[in-house]
Amino acid sequence: MSTYMDEYKKKLITAEQAAQLVQSNSIIDYGMFAAKPVDFDAALGKRAGDGLENVAIRGTGSILPIPEVIKGDPEQKSFQYFSWYFTLLDRKACDVGLAAHNPFNYHEATLLAYNPDFSHLWPDVWVSQVTPMDKHGCFNFGLGNSHSRGLALNSKIAIVEVNENMPLCLGGNDEYVHISEIDYIIEGSNTPIFTTPPSPDPSPEDRKIAEYIMEDIKDGAMIQLGIGAMPNLIGNLLAESDVKDLGIQTEMFCDSFVKMYEKGRITNAKKAYDINKSTYSFCLGTQDTYDFLDGNPRVASCTVNYTNDPTRVAMHDNVIAINNILEIDLLSQVCSETSGLRQISGTGGQLDFVIGAFHSKGGKAFLAFSSTYKDKEGKVHSRIRPMLTPGAAVTVPRTQVQYVVTEYGKANLKAKSTWGRAEALINLAHPDFRDDLIASAKEMKIWSRTNRIPF
């Protein structure tokens, strides 16, 4: 330890000194979600307009505090901000021209971080919050494993910002970086790690959707829950059910997994690999969830290619993947990430798990959504549309869609005809919109003369 402490002291610098390492025409990568650097960002933001130009900052799921490189440079004299996955903060920044989105399938992040064919994407400077160094000279990535190690190893300058409040998230794989592999250390101000409020109470529609999905979750199923209220609701219902021996392989560790553990629903005994461990790649949740993960050997922090690669997901039997979507058209094209041209979130790992679950023996991928929503003026709209909103991104192509679920039922669209898809989706729509959808389907030549489509 003394040897490591000597090296530690040599590499220790202030956040202000670290910010001075950034040069014009650089790419800077921030730690993802709750691992976003706080002190370094504040120091770098103060350099806006001091001669720095064309510095690209990449984050993932921006959270409070608002990045100073955005707030401190509204004219973008020095910084341009990019995000792999949008949050409310990213959306607001994008609305005023201060952020842009980087689309990708999440399981590819680790591959991009290591593959020299994409070295033009590698950061000049990588900075992330980490745990304090352990006696072996290792800094744990905490809540943000993902592709952090690849970024650290292949950046020109690797900097860790130590936060004593960061949970120690055991591996897994590649959950740490060694002091010999980094260039500088910042001892941060130990700000509290960002937490999310508990999920709001579910609506009656949400509960009905959850009930339809619960019918297909059997003993020994391997569960993936996406980001959002609906997946968390499913987890809470599973916790109160009598289903047993559930396994977890997911990109995000959800709050409801803690309750499932407490109720004895999760054993991971039936998994094809990582027996007795829940595998995940990052976490954004409540403090109770962070406390559960801290030093817990029953959960394993892994790289995102390990958790999300569809071929690896499919190695488990009975994979149940549950994700939210924003809208679907009568051709069964799914948008889960934009409202027209406005970026709302990102593809994330949704497509990864839709494909992986389908190829799993006994697996099923559910795309869940309420049939309607209200706009700012209170007008009700159908989420099932003749065509996607102009400008909407296709998150899941129609060829990959399996189960879709609303409060009016569920349908397996895999390999159905265009006629069959249209009828199945119209049956899942709110009754007030079905006649208009039928009329649109006729105009689109995807409606037959018969009332019921055999396939």
Q: What is the pLDDT of residues 37-66, one digit of tens each?
A: 999 999 999 999 999 999 999 999 999 999
Residue corresponding to tokens 């941060």: 188
Q: Find the mean pLDDT for residues 133-143.
A: 98
* pLDDT confidence of residue 1: 60
* pLDDT confidence of residue 453: 55
Radius of gyration for the alpha carbons in the chain, expressed in angstroms and rounded: 23
Q: What is the pLDDT of residues 112-131, one digit of tens each?
A: 999 999 999 999 999 999 99
Angstrom distance (rounded) from CA 391 to CA 386? 14
pLDDT cut 70: percent of the chain above it: 98
Q: What is the pLDDT of residues 286-324, one digit of tens each?
A: 999 999 999 999 999 999 999 999 999 999 999 999 999
* 5: pLDDT strictly greater than 80: yes
Task: Identify any residues that bridge with 380 across adjacent strands, giving them in sequence order.
Answer: 374
Delimiting residues of CATH 3.40.1080.20 domain(s) in the chain: 204-443
* 16: pLDDT strictly greater than 70: yes
* 445: pLDDT strictly greater than 80: yes
* pLDDT confidence of residue 346: 97
Q: Find the mean pLDDT for residues 350-367.
A: 98
Q: Find the mean pLDDT for residues 331-352.
A: 98
* pLDDT confidence of residue 450: 63
Would you call 205 a catalytic residue per the annotation?
Answer: no
- Exactly one of 68, 161, 175, 251 is catalytic; name it: 251
Superfamily of domain 204-443: Acetyl-CoA hydrolase/transferase C-terminal domain (3.40.1080.20)
Angstrom distance (rounded) from CA 7 to CA 10? 5
Whether 108 contacts 138, CB under 8 Å: no
Angstrom distance (rounded) from CA 145 to CA 282? 6
pLDDT band for 256, please (50, 70, 90 cuts). very high
Q: What is the pLDDT of residues 236-249, one digit of tens each?
A: 999 999 999 999 99
Q: For the chain, give the mean pLDDT.
A: 96
Q: What is the pLDDT of residues 188-215, one digit of tens each?
A: 999 999 999 888 888 999 999 999 999 9
Angstrom distance (rounded) from CA 18 to CA 270? 47
Q: Find the mean pLDDT for residues 354-376.
A: 98
Delimiting residues of CATH 3.40.1080.10 domain(s) in the chain: 2-187
Task: Identify any residues that bridge with 329 across adjacent strands, giving them in sequence order.
Answer: 385
Angstrom distance (rounded) from CA 323 to CA 348? 11
Residue 450, judged by CB atoms within 10 A of its CB (0-12, 13-18, 19+), counts as exposed
* pLDDT confidence of residue 366: 98
**CATH architecture of the region 2-187:** 3-Layer(aba) Sandwich (3.40)
Quickly count: other Cβ atoms within 10 Å of residue 304's Cβ: 28
Q: Find the mean pLDDT for residues 3-11.
A: 96
